[in-house]
A and B are shown apart, each in its own frame.
Chain A
Amino acid sequence: MMSYLIDGFALALRPDNLLYCFIGVFWGTIVGVLPGLGPLAGLTLLLPLTFHLEPASAIIMLAGIFYGAMYGGSTTSILLRMPGEAASVITCLDGHEMAKQGRAGPALVVVAIGSFVGGTVSVVGLMMFAPLLAKLMLQVGPAAEFALMVFALLVMSLIGTGHVLKTVTMILLGLVIGTIGLDPITGYPRYTFGLIELSDGISFVGMALGLFGVSEILLNLENIANVKPIRPTLKSLMPRWQDLRDAAPSIGRGSAIGFLFGFIPGISHVISTFVSYAVEKRISKHPEQFGHGAIAGVAGPETANNATTGSAMIPLLVLGIPAIPATAILLSALMIHGLQPGPELISKHPEIFWGLIASMYIGNFMLLILNLPLVGLFVNLLRVPYAYLAPTVLLFCIIGIYSVNTNASDILIMVGFGLLGYLLRKFKFDAAPLLLAVVLGERIEVSLRRALIISDGSYIGLLQGGASKIFVSAVVLLVVLQFVAVLLGYRKKMFSDV
């Protein structure tokens, strides 16, 4: 393995490949920072450029966009409460609170460090265990996926800051919104009111930008005279020693959570962030600080979403199966060059696999070096008077959301959810559980119904296969234990105290 890795580094350190790697991570950072644009948009825009590159250079550059976007996504979440992409929604909660307290600098620095650690851990995992993990991933069928999603839903109820009833209301509302669109099994339209634009469901990016970003702008408009630009000083840019000590364990846990949840097909990068947030809140000595600028609530999730990048590459490189839309573009890029990813890719084209691994080490390091100085630049954005900043940001959101699907109705969705988000915050409801319930609801439904077709309608039949036995039993056990604990009076306040 060492000799392969050395060959990989030799390839990745070639000047031209270093340049492609840098272009990739730089462009990734940009699309991550811009609200609405995510890694997918960044990849598709640069894909045609790779047609004339060597396959290894192409994949090095495109992969750089993918993990680079995970670095940039949090920037606007922290500064403007505007999630740059789906995986940075949860960072809005504490990241923006930190910015309001004049601590945007430390937040961004901790994110950069956490992202670097998470990204690097995931490359190590990819390098050491790829074939083994690929086998495990195959074990996760519809039934096991269903159990994992239910587990995530249970965890989600821990995120809210308000009354447990309000959190549950938001989750239920999210599940309902998730049913809009074509029925995933029968293909019939549900709650689309005959509008074809609604047949794919409500745009997640539109909802996220509306609920968080637009609602924040609306709230600030109420007392625009009092919104003072923040004037960061050089001293306030750097995290205090205490910040780093608080963040370090969260970064460690975030790495593990991210890598494990990378197994979930489709939405691993989103789920890992809020599982990490919930875990941090749960084990924190000061859970009351969450939602009011807890650094652990920024460090954990932002590490976790980077840690999913390595495991998201495993099904692509080992099995030839794209687990998420972004890796589907990477698959296309390889196939354009006549490479069919699959069981023989690593043995027949070791230069692709090991060159990519080496470039991911290098790229993550580049991102760290790139992002630390950018902190100073980004924080200075907050000096811009709000009267100029708010409309500019709104304009970017509109361009960003429109560019995802070139669909004008997504803009309306963003505005509509902005109004809803405003009302929710006025009445002290949390938007995060709603948003995540929409994502989870769709997957829960589709995986359960697939599993039931496979088991021919038998619920007992869901327990076939090792993975689903383990996951389903774990969820059942968790629920039963919770109820027993409540019944016996060990935990009177089931969810509300966390």
Chain B
Amino acid sequence: MKNFRLSLRSSLPVLAVAAGLLSGPTVGAAEKYPSRPIEIIVPTGAGGGTDLVFRQLADLVGPILGTNVVVSNRPGGGGVIGTIAITRAKPDGYILGGLWNAPLTMTPHLNPVPYTPQDYLPISMADTSPTVLCTKKDFPANNGKEFIDYLKKNPNKFTYGNDGVGGTIQLTMERIFLPLGVKARAVPFSGAGETLKNFLGGHIDIYGGSMTTILPYVKDGSAKCLLVTSPRSVSSMPDAANLTELGVPDRSTLLWHGLIAPKGLPADRAALLEKAFQQAARSPQFREYMESRGITVEGSSSADFRKLIDSEYAAMGEVMAQIGLGKK
């Protein structure tokens, strides 16, 4: 018995999250909010880029709210499992969700999920970053226009790596390719790292993914990025054409991270959280952390975040229908 207790203690860090979930709520009549720790469910594994963004935010927003804010990871199903847990949580402001594009605006078009955009309340979008298309140094195009023209002249000849079918990168790119009449073969990988490896090894022609991952190879001259999925240019990628230059500024999809809450959260608590997370996102520490990676800090309002999710949700549904993906 003694042994057992000792060993249980050694696995305490693992159980801490579970214990946090189990400790029941103590709702008083006029309860001060927040009066106990707040949990942010992040539907991805610990240690990844998304997870780290929310861990930073949690550390910064805790002192503002005057309580501990902890991240708990609920990976699985491409983020769907964790998102379900968020939408089904009690809307008392003690369980929030840290999300990115795919589980909210993309996956629901591909596979049946038991939630809709109306099942959650967007609180604030923390940051955005564009993705890029890059080629090897010797690719016969030196700017965005030449690149698009060359792809158009050679339909379905070139391959671009992305983060999975129906994933963020493929839909982001196809959303741009469709109006421009570009056709390229999408090769799904499990993430930007694997895409980069196959790009560097010459197995695919074009890298599609986050800027952070490819940046060292742009700096050393072995890769050139020719298209950025933003209406504006990016300083670290001077050769990359933006979408305004290509004549399709309304076709932009940015990667984002944002906070959501289950629907039915009282308005006063929502307003408090919105303000606190805006303040945390705009703090110098967060700005420095994000901007060193080429990511733009937003700290948007709840209303703007809602608008973005709704329009992105609609646009993604359209793109999927046009390229023949989507629920069958």
Q: What is the interface of chain A, defined by CB distance below 8 A to chain B?
A: 30, 34, 37, 40-41, 43-45, 47-48, 137-143, 182, 184-189, 194, 196-197, 199-200, 265, 315, 319-323, 325, 328-329, 331-332, 335-336, 338, 340-344, 392, 395-396, 399-400, 402-403, 405-407, 450, 453-454, 456, 465
Contact = CB atoms under 8 A, between A and B. Distances in A.
Interface stretch (B4-12, B139-147, B225-233): B4-12
Q: Which of A184, A189, A194, A342 has the most CB of B within 10 A?
A: A342
Interface stretch (B126-134, B190-198, B305-313): B190-198
B52 A342 contact: no
B196 A406 contact: no
A196 to B, nearest CB: 5
A453 B73 contact: no
Given A319-B196, A320-B196, 10 more contacts: A37-B14, A41-B14, A188-B111, A196-B84, A320-B213, A329-B47, A332-B52, A399-B14, A454-B203, A456-B156
Nearest to A140: B201
Contacts of A407: 74, 76, 81
Interface residues of B, number: 64
Contacts of A323: 193, 197
B62 interface: no
B179 interface: no
Interface in B229-286: none
A343 B325 contact: no
Query: Which 5 pairs between the two chains have the least Cβ-Cβ distance?
Result: A342-B216, A141-B203, A138-B201, A44-B46, A403-B14
A48 to B, nearest CB: 7
Interface string B195-231: 0111011111000000011011101101000000000
Given A44-B46, A47-B47, A185 B165 contact: yes
Interface in B57-94: 72-78, 80-81, 84
Nearest to B10: A30
A454 B187 contact: yes
Given A187-B166, A199-B76, A332 B48 contact: yes
Interface of B: 3-4, 7, 10-11, 13-15, 17-18, 45-49, 52, 55, 72-78, 80-81, 84, 110-113, 156, 159, 164-167, 185-189, 193-194, 196-198, 200-204, 212-213, 215-217, 219-220, 222, 292-293, 325, 328
A187 B76 contact: no
Contacts of A322: 193
Nearest to B107: A187
**Centre residue among B3, B13, B198, B222 by max chain A CB count within 10 A:** B198
Contact of B77 (A143, A197, A341): A197
Contacts of A265: 194, 197
Contact of B4 (A48, A336, A392): A392
Contacts of B328: 188
A45 B111 contact: no
A187 B110 contact: yes
B165 A186 contact: yes
Contact of B188 (A321, A344, A450, A465): A450
Contacts of A400: 11
Given A343-B220, A403-B14, A453 B159 contact: yes
Contacts of A189: 111
